[in-house]
């Protein structure tokens, strides 16, 4: 068996492989071994340059690896090469530009370069398709595209979120159709990504990597790679266990947020501060930790939490298992934006505000703070519903490109917080960007002094807002009025 410390593929060689007394002909070109090569001399290719691929590429480049990033969106590639990062993520943008300039990180649309890579990591998107199933089109196309360039002994790691059985029953058969035997010609592993946007680089450095393989050797090689990178690993017994781990994480989060949002509504109905209840409830020891209600908010957005529960529900259904709780949680969290709009409209009516003469200011269009990602952002639905009811809506988000907001809302975004809040009768904080956490954002604004402040992320002290002359609301918080 070839040692893993590999240098580069020679695409011309056809290699006679000896394993014990077994002699067979490999159809793949050889990755020539070099036991003297250091780990940082390994070439790494990352296919799919979205959030996960970008963070991973920067992280590996920081560790000294030569990284080739491949994506089929030529426009994004050209913008990155021109020094225009395609996303905003703390501790990523500046490093990305630096590594691209130094060519430590190379970016291309061609798959040919993977011939010079020892490790290939796939991070392409797997969106929600019809009937709540996973759309594996991008993944299947990616695997088909890389097959002509794979070399003997390479390690192929999948990090895209997948329904259980996808690596074994979808990816492996594609490889085999191309004459590539997983676990022998190349080593196939699934290691799910579990990063939270807005804190992705920190989590990349700190979170343990869940590791599995098509066989024991594939799992061991993947584990060895991540350890050489400097990360802790959590080996699991099968590909399916690793695939389920990612889904289990996000189902837990979605269900927990739904439970917190339900608790918040009960607390609101009796004038109790849900955050007070949650703080006390979370002190109870239970199992290996404590009761852990998450914070109620404006709904669930982003790519993963809004689709992964459906992946699990759909997979369970294929095994004649009916899962109820994830579906209920999805419905609860999907309804939160409508609940918020109804609350704002009701409170404005109490102030005799007529929609056509009323301005509502939205601070934050991304689905959460410290990210530019607007996928499934609750702000989209909130803005849409407010606009359809006749309110004039202003939007400001310093993390999101103006053209994105225009394209998705038909609203020209404000150029500053002051511009956004001017003459507003209601202020909605829908993303917890650091720029919004200073109380001066509200105190120095030109908003109407009788305005409502809806603090969707619990970033302000309610008493401070009331002292400024505003009414304060937040999910589950006791409503405080400036009477």
Instruction: Find all residues with CB under 8 Å of 84, minimum gap 6, and list them.
Output: none
- Report how far residue 127's alpha carbon sits from residue 340's, in angstroms, rounded to the nearest whole number: 27
Query: What CA–CA distance (Å, rounded) separates 48 from 126?
Result: 11
Q: For this structure, is 151 an active site residue?
A: no
**Active-site residue, from 9, 304, 353, 420:** 304
Residues 451, 456, 457, 461: what is their CA dihedral angle, to the nearest 10 degrees? 30
In whole angstroms, give the CA distance from residue 252 to residue 59: 27
- Tokens standing for 65? 């690896």
How many C-beta atoms lie closer than 10 Å to residue 468's C-beta?
19
CA distance 3 to 30: 12
Query: Among residues 127, 184, 194, which one has the least CA distance to residue 156?
Result: 184
Identified catalytic residue from 88, 104, 152, 246: 246
From residue 148, alpha-carbon distances to 27, 58, 348, 477 in Å are 11, 27, 62, 58
* Residue 163 main-chain phi, psi, to 5 deg: -65, 150
Q: Mark whether 350 is an active-site residue.
A: no
* Strands of 430-481, DSSP E: 452-455, 471-473
Distance CA 254, CA 380 (A): 19
Q: Where are the beta strands (DSSP E) in 66-114?
A: 66-70, 105-108
Neighbouring-strand partners of residue 429: 363, 455
Residue 339 · residue 385 · CB < 8 Å: no
CB 344 within 8 A of CB 370: no
d(CA 331, CA 338): 12
C-beta neighbour count of 14 within 10 angstroms: 12
Catalytic residue positions?
246, 304
């Amino acid at each position: 068996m070839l040692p893993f410390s590999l240098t580069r593929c020679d695409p011309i060689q056809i290699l006679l492989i000896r394993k014990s007394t077994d002699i067979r002909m490999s159809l793949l070109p050889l990755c020539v071994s070099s036991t003297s090569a250091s780990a940082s001399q390994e070439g790494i290719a990352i296919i799919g340059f979205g959030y996960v691929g970008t963070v991973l590429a920067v992280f590996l480049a920081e560790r000294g690896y030569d990284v080739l990033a491949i994506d089929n969106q030529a426009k994004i590639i050209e913008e990155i090469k021109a020094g225009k990062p395609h996303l905003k993520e703390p501790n990523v943008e500046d490093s990305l530009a630096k590594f691209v300039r130094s060519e430590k990180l190379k970016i291309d649309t061609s798959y040919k370069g993977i011939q010079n890579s020892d490790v290939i990591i796939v991070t392409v998107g797997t969106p929600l398709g019809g009937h709540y199933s996973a759309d594996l089109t991008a993944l299947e196309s990616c695997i088909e595209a890389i097959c002509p360039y794979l070399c003997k002994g390479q390690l192929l790691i999948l990090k895209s979120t997948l329904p259980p059985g996808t690596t074994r029953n979808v990816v492996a058969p594609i490889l085999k159709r191309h004459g590539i035997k997983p676990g022998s010609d190349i080593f196939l592993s699934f290691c799910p990504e579990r990063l939270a946007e807005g804190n992705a680089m920190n989590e990349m450095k700190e979170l343990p990597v869940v590791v599995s393989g098509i066989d024991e050797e594939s799992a061991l090689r993947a584990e060895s790679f991540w350890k050489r990178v400097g990360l802790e690993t959590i080996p699991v017994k099968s590909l399916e266990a690793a695939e389920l781990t990612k889904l289990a994480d996000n189902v837990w989060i979605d269900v927990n947020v739904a439970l917190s949002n339900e608790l918040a509504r009960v607390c609101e109905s009796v004038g109790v501060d849900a955050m007070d209840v949650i703080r006390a409830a979370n002190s109870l020891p239970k199992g290996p930790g404590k009761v852990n209600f998450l914070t109620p908010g404006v709904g669930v957005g982003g790519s993963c939490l809004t689709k992964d529960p459906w992946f699990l529900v759909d997979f369970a259904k294929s095994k004649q298992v009916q899962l109820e709780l994830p579906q209920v949680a999805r419905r609860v969290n999907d309804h939160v934006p409508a609940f918020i709009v109804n609350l704002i409209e009701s409170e404005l009516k109490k102030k005799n505000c007529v929609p056509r003469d009323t301005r509502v200011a939205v601070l934050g269009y991304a689905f959460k703070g410290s990210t530019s990602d607007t996928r499934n952002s609750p702000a989209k639905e909130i803005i849409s519903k407010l606009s359809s009811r006749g309110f004039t809506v202003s939007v400001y988000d310093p993390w999101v490109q103006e053209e994105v907001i225009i394209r998705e809302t038909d609203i020209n975004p404000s150029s500053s917080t002051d511009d956004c809040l001017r003459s507003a009768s209601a202020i909605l904080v829908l993303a917890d960007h650091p720029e919004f956490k200073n109380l001066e954002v509200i105190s120095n604004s030109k908003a109407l002094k009788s305005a409502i402040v809806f603090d969707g992320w619990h970033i302000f002290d309610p008493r401070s807002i009331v002292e400024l002359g505003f009414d304060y609301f937040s999910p589950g918080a006791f409503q405080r009025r400036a009477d």
